[in-house]
Copies of this chain bind each other. A is one copy, B any other.
Amino acid sequence: MKSLKIIKIGGNIINNKMLLNEFLDDFAKLDSPKLLVHGGGKSASELSIKMGIEPKMINGRRITDDETLDIITMVYGGKINKNIVAQLQARNSNSVGFSGADGNSIVAIKRPVKDIDYGFAGDVTHVNTQTINVLLQNDISPIFCAITHNQNGQLLNTNADTIASELAIALSKDYKVSLYYCFEKNGVLKSIEDDDSVIEHINNQKFEQLKKEGIIHDGMLPKIHNCLQSIQKGVATVHIGNNKMPFEQDIKCTTFQQ
């Protein structure tokens, strides 16, 4: 089975021109097949405020009303995505920008309203790998923004971490997938103040222990849950670390295992 690297980058890289350039240099040099997923929340909030629309967040999740969905689509699918693609082409790395609607790649449902109405937020139901595979087989990298669709014409705002893991799981039928989550830390840390205190391996048992000890909490919980689930569903390896981690062999990061 051929190997495939799927890399997810977030706001800390996207909103820092120097870091983004450095990352794209590395990504361009990486052997194909490869696939990139990007978020971009901060830029969407900035445009929102410019347009006089106050961004609404609950528990770190965006409430996506009609106007906000337009902003998300413009910023993620337009500004950030097209600029990344242009930057990769400048590095002779052939790529095509994707949302979940493109190639009918990622189908989602509008999140059912329980306590909170998240608006046009998408929960992924299905990944179609056919069009993605056509590109990967031709050494063209799909560059995914965090948007899905409901196959009925409705775009949906979707968590970028989820998009990366759903793609990784679905593409594991055809590839030995390594999934990399790049963020602002060197990995999952034992002590948030000590950037060297990386927990190098996490499995289900270790996760339960870390939760019990109160070492992992808040935003990291769904992230780690995501990683462990990806492994359980067939992804070969999952890593959390800094923006150099997917490209260098001997860099410390957190690796997830069954």
A residues near B (Cβ < 8 Å) are 47, 50-51, 70, 73-79, 81-83, 85-87, 89-90, 94-99, 101-104, 131, 134-135, 138, 140, 147, 149, 151-155
User: For residue A98, which residue of chain B has the nearest CB?
Assistant: B96
Q: Which residues of B contact A101 (CB under 8 A)?
A: 82, 85-86, 89, 97
B81, B90, B153: the one contacting A77 at CB < 8 Å is B81
Q: Which residues of B contact A83 (CB under 8 A)?
A: 73, 153, 155
Q: How far is the CA of A103 from the CA of B102 in the complex (A)?
A: 14
Q: Which residues of B contact A87 (CB under 8 A)?
A: 153
Q: Which residues of B contact A79 (CB under 8 A)?
A: 70, 73-74, 77-78
Q: Which residues of B contact A102 (CB under 8 A)?
A: 82, 85, 95-97
B99 touches A97 (CB 8 A): yes
For the complex formed, measure the closest distance between the CB of A94 and the CB atoms of chain B, giving whole angstroms. 6
A77 touches B70 (CB 8 A): no
User: For residue A97, which residue of chain B has the nearest CB?
Assistant: B102
